[in-house]
Structure 1
Amino acid sequence: MQVDAFAAEPFKGNPAAVLLLEEDADERWMQSVATEFNVSQTAFLVREPSAAAAPRFRLRWFTPVTEVALCGHATLASAHVLFTILLGKQHGTVEFVTKSGIQTAKKVPAPEAVASSAKLFIELDFPTIDLAECSSAEMPSIPETLNGARVVNVYKSSTVGDLIVEISSAKEVVDIVPDIHEIKRCAGRGVIVTAPGPAGSGYDFFSRFFCPKFAIDEVMSCSFSQVVCVSWMQRGFLLAARWQPCFAMQNGFHSNFYMVKNYRLHFLQLKTYVDSTIRHT
């Protein structure tokens, strides 16, 4: 089943394929299926027997070329499929067992701060990700890689080493045409480019994520990179570590976050669209 996450209409947003399996599959088979789907992420779900009230599923994510340890939009797509097709109305929470630990998805009421006609709101709870300083050796080509964009700061994520490049304006984030071949030579998986949202825009930050090493030149809307950007905003005191709305624009897609005091990020999914169904035998 293919699901478009962060979509205001069908065939938009960030697509993820979701497959529900009866038992664990061979890793090579899963990779070949993900390569065949050729979307940014393919999610594989296997239900676990659980004594807990919430249903629990093992969840793994694959890009067209490799497995990844965490993917937010494919987790949201998986939760959407389970809540709307498999689990029914009696379950409001589902747990995912992943290589990054237990992820929980909940059906929640529409927040007062969000105006939307969506009938289903899904919330994920992510820890924020620490940022580290970059050495000069790790970023010698960043200005050339970003084709001359005015770089303010460069950091890297503490988990997978993605480079986070703050540039001078949201307009530059939107207009930038990076050198994809140069990005492949950068440290980490890819490069996240970000800047604070301009006054009056309604957005806290703009961002884009380039990840050609995983056969994805640009991820349409990546919740992992947005979590990293929230950490960047906290680092610069642009966002307080307390319960408050945070709105992001990534490559034309609107996202909503809600901060909590223990430095965890509540991520809201407003809309998803199911494009097609594929049965696995």
Structure 2
Amino acid sequence: MFGEMGKKAIRYAVVDAFAAEPFKGNPAAVCLLEEEGASATVDDRWMQSVAAEFNLSETAFLARDSSGAAGAAPRFHLRWFTPVTEVDLCGHATLASAHFLFTTVLPEHGKLEFMTRSGILTAKKVPAPGSTGVPGEEQGKLFIELDFPMIGFLECNEMLSIPETLNGAPIVSVHKSATDGDLIVPSP
């Protein structure tokens, strides 16, 4: 659970997101950089090397941000790296990060904020689906709700080779994300 960054120990865990038992779901490594101001001083090449060593689809790096108001939800800088590059957003590694913080670092808190390249993301403990119990835990299971920034979409008249790609499935419309050009193609 501890790795080395220079001479500082780094707490880390591999968390299986979207799973109720070990070795299922989607694994992500989560590294907590506990040194104050670590998000500004940690070398990107070091984080990329750590992600390559874990060799999972994503490795998340967390560093506490102490600039928030007193009484506000704890806030962390969050960055995601694949084995070969940094990415702007990763859902399962965000869920893994929230689970790691809620279970090992801040179990008394019910809400967290993450500052990312994609904006501020929030995570909060919630009651289990269909229950009226205490938020977060039912029969030892932690339920977490994530709130991601909304991405705008633009009308797109480019059909490209979408009908062939979808094996001739009917297409209602084609939209393109305003930020990175991803295509959204709803089908009836």
Which residue of the partner structure matches residue 239 of structure 1?
none
Match of 1:49 among 66, 85, 103: 66
Tell me whether 1:11 sits opposite 2:17 in the alignment: no
- Alpha-carbon offset, residue 100 of structure 1: 2.1
Contact 2:110 2:125 in 1 (8 A): yes
Distance 2:149 2:76 in 1: 20
Which residue of the partner structure matches residue 52 of structure 2?
35
Tell me whether 1:68 sits opposite 2:87 in the alignment: yes
Distance 1:17 1:119 in 2: 20
- One-letter amino acid of the counterpart of residue 48, structure 1: D
Distance 2:129 2:84 in 1: 37
Distance 1:68 1:10 in 2: 26
- One-letter amino acid of the counterpart of residue 134, structure 1: C
Distance change >3 Å, CA 106–CA 52, structure 1 → 2: farther
Q: Deviations over 1:87-106 (max 9, x none)?
A: 13x22222211122222211
Which residue of the partner structure matches residue 154 of structure 2?
132
Distance 2:62 2:156 in 1: 37
Tell me whether 1:158 sits opposite 2:178 in the alignment: yes
SS, match of residue 46 in structure 2: helix
SS, match of residue 161 in structure 1: coil
Most deviating of 79-88 and 3-12: 3-12
CA RMSD of superposed structures (Å): 2.4
Q: Which has the higher contact order (CA 8 A, sep 6+)?
A: 1
Which residue of the partner structure matches residue 116 of structure 2?
98
- Alpha-carbon offset, residue 113 of structure 1: 7.3
Distance 1:26 1:151 in 2: 48
- Alpha-carbon offset, residue 64 of structure 1: 2.4
Which residue of the partner structure matches residue 141 of structure 1?
161
- Alpha-carbon offset, residue 123 of structure 1: 1.6
- Alpha-carbon offset, residue 41 of structure 1: 1.5
- Alpha-carbon offset, residue 131 of structure 1: 2.3
Match of 2:78 among 53, 59, 62: 59
Taking only the aligned residue pairs, the percentage that are identical comes to 69
- In the TM superposition, 1:223-238 aligns within 5 A as none
Runs of 4+ in 1 over 6 A off after TM superposition: none
Q: Deviations over 1:231-265 (max 9, x none)?
A: xxxxxxxxxxxxxxxxxxxxxxxxxxxxxxxxxxx
Unaligned runs of 5+ in 1: 169-281
Contact 1:69 1:99 in 2 (8 A): yes
Distance change >3 Å, CA 165–CA 39, structure 1 → 2: farther
Contact 2:16 2:25 in 1 (8 A): yes
TM superposition score normalised by structure 1: 0.52
SS, match of residue 166 in structure 1: coil
- One-letter amino acid of the counterpart of residue 105, structure 1: A
TM superposition score normalised by structure 2: 0.74
- Alpha-carbon offset, residue 48 of structure 1: 2.1
Aligned length: 163
